[in-house]
Amino acid sequence: MTERMVIVGGDAAGMSAASQARRIRNPDELEIVAFERGHFTSYSACGIPYWVGGRVEGPDGLIARSPEEHRRRGIDLRMRTEVTELDPGRQRVRIVEREHGEQARWVDYDHLVLATGARPVRPRLPGIDAEGVYGVQTLDDGQALIDALESGEHGRDGTRRAVVVGAGYIGVEMAEALVERGYRVTVVDRGPQPMSTLDPDMGALVYEAMCGMGIETVRGAAVTGILTDEAGRARGVSTGDAEYPADVVVLGLGVRPETELARRAGLPLGPSGGLLTDLAMRVRGQENIWAGGDCVEVLNLVSGRTQHVALGTHANKHGQVIGTNVAGDPEGAATFPGVVGTAVSKVCDLEIARTGLLERQARAVGLQFETVLIESTTRAGYYPGTRPMHVKMLAERRSGRLLGAQIVGRENAGKRVDIAAVALHAGMTVEQMTALDLGYAPPFSPVWDPILVAARKAAAAVREARGG
């Protein structure tokens, strides 16, 4: 008997699940239907800043696979079709075909995959819906912003100005994009430092570097409203204390899980509002409902808590796991054990990376730890193109176990975070890390890789703390 797999959301997690299930089961065994309410499928939202900045051709360049390609692989992908209700009791979902008369109907499923993604944070501020205020979550968002940037409207002095609200990953990436478009950019953030995904001392390094790039960064300033002109068009932002004029205002405040459907269906949500699943990516307490991608919370293997991490790389892994498990791979169930909290980003030539826990996150779960902060270089000191990099490391006081690492540096600094990420997966102590056999040659690293330098200092700090 043919079973039916219904997928809600046609982006990374959903379509990876579809593709993987199709690799294992043919259409006679498993019918695969995917509903996507938007105009695009399988696109790289994380590529939007680079499209806006003019480095990447878009929107087509950001689309990994077209609807037609999915259909050719035996996946019945329905675009512009919104799922408006889940009915787990009767194993069906209600759909509305937006381009076919808005008619609603129910579709039965044997296996349901929720891959509804995330929605951008959009604070309820006066003027937030004014023309000239742009999000950067969807390809439609990106196109609207690019159209505005290319419309050639200038400020009174001929300078084009942009305000970015939020100095997290998306905020700093958008700051870079707007600098590349020739805008004078002000980033407004309510935190004490940009990049609240870093500890404040590391965020301060980002702040200094952004100042050096000519990006004005306003810290500790919550936006209280969008300034508009007589035509109702955004002309800047206000923080109560000050006003920052702008020709465009970009919202870069991050995203939240899009789980309204799941909530209404009574499915379990975590503290961040993301769906809770087991390690096989099955929604907790459900036999045949699966969830993955930006709409779920995942286990942080270092903190032992679930958290929301919106990253395409996780979404693709979730999709693989779900597809394998829905298809019932005879090799056994696949699992997604969790994350260690790795992220990497850049603003101009500054690279910013982290993995594991920040100080406040470690404290919040009851860990006692030592921290060290070192400065080193990306290559041998004498090799041309060597650039500075800072590494911060957290290690548990009692066990010496690595708890986290943060990197702020220039070219070739960021991806070194992977060394610490693998060490976190493996539960290594910083003392063990001092013996890691990492690739060394002068064009690639100093004779002591910066990660080794940090690990040595962290190991010494742990020994000293225990001895004292």
Active site residues: 46
Q: Establish if 339 lies at the interface with its own copies (CB under 8 A).
A: yes
Q: Establish if 174 lies at the interface with its own copies (CB under 8 A).
A: no
Q: Establish if 163 lies at the interface with its own copies (CB under 8 A).
A: no
Q: Establish if 22 lies at the interface with its own copies (CB under 8 A).
A: no
Cβ 124 vs Cβ 211: under 8 Å: no
What is the nearest approach in angstroms of its own copies to the Cβ of residue 214? 20
Q: Establish if 40 lies at the interface with its own copies (CB under 8 A).
A: no
The alpha-helical segments, DSSP class H, found in 224-311 are 260-264
Minimum CB distance to its own copies smaller for 127 or for 142: 142
Cα 406 to Cα 352: distance, rounded to the nearest angstrom = 8
Q: Establish if 308 lies at the interface with its own copies (CB under 8 A).
A: no
State the sign of the Cα–Cα–Cα–Cα dihedral 269, 272, 274, 276: negative
State the pairing for strand pair 234-238/243-245.
Answer: antiparallel
Residue type, 30: L
Nearest-CA neighbor of 319 among 16, 41, 84? 16
Q: Establish if 468 lies at the interface with its own copies (CB under 8 A).
A: no
What is the nearest approach in angstroms of its own copies to the Cβ of residue 40? 14
What is the nearest approach in angstroms of its own copies to the Cβ of residue 67? 19
Residue 246: other Cβ atoms inside 10 A: 28
Cα 9 to Cα 293: distance, rounded to the nearest angstrom = 10
Give the burial class of 432: count Cβ atoms within 10 A of its Cβ; 0-12 exposed, 13-18 middle, 19 or more buried.
Answer: middle
Cβ 206 vs Cβ 352: under 8 Å: yes
Distance from chain centroid for Cα 340:
14
Q: Establish if 47 lies at the interface with its own copies (CB under 8 A).
A: yes
Among 18, 311, 395, 408, binds its own copies (CB under 8 A): 311
Nearest-CA neighbor of 296 among 3, 6, 8? 8
What is the nearest approach in angstroms of its own copies to the Cβ of residue 170? 11
Interface region with its own copies, contact rule CB under 8 A, candidates 149-157, 184-192, 196-204, 411-419: 411-419
Interface region with its own copies, contact rule CB under 8 A, candidates 83-91, 111-119, 285-293, 336-344: 336-344
Strand ranges, E, within 37-75: none
Residue type, 262: A
Q: Establish if 118 lies at the interface with its own copies (CB under 8 A).
A: no
Cα 64 to Cα 14: distance, rounded to the nearest angstrom = 13
Q: Establish if 453 lies at the interface with its own copies (CB under 8 A).
A: no
Interface region with its own copies, contact rule CB under 8 A, candidates 75-83, 104-112, 123-131, 423-431: 423-431
The one-character DSSP state at 157 is T
Q: Establish if 158 lies at the interface with its own copies (CB under 8 A).
A: no
What is the nearest approach in angstroms of its own copies to the Cβ of residue 328? 15
Q: Establish if 70 lies at the interface with its own copies (CB under 8 A).
A: no
Cα 232 to Cα 193: distance, rounded to the nearest angstrom = 32
Q: Establish if 440 lies at the interface with its own copies (CB under 8 A).
A: yes
Minimum CB distance to its own copies smaller for 152 or for 384: 384
Contacts with its own copies: how many residues (CB under 8 A)? Answer: 71
Q: Establish if 373 lies at the interface with its own copies (CB under 8 A).
A: no
Among 29, 57, 129, 208, binds its own copies (CB under 8 A): 57
Among 12, 177, 357, 395, binds its own copies (CB under 8 A): 12
What is the nearest approach in angstroms of its own copies to the Cβ of residue 191? 20
Give the three-class secondary structure for 143.
helix
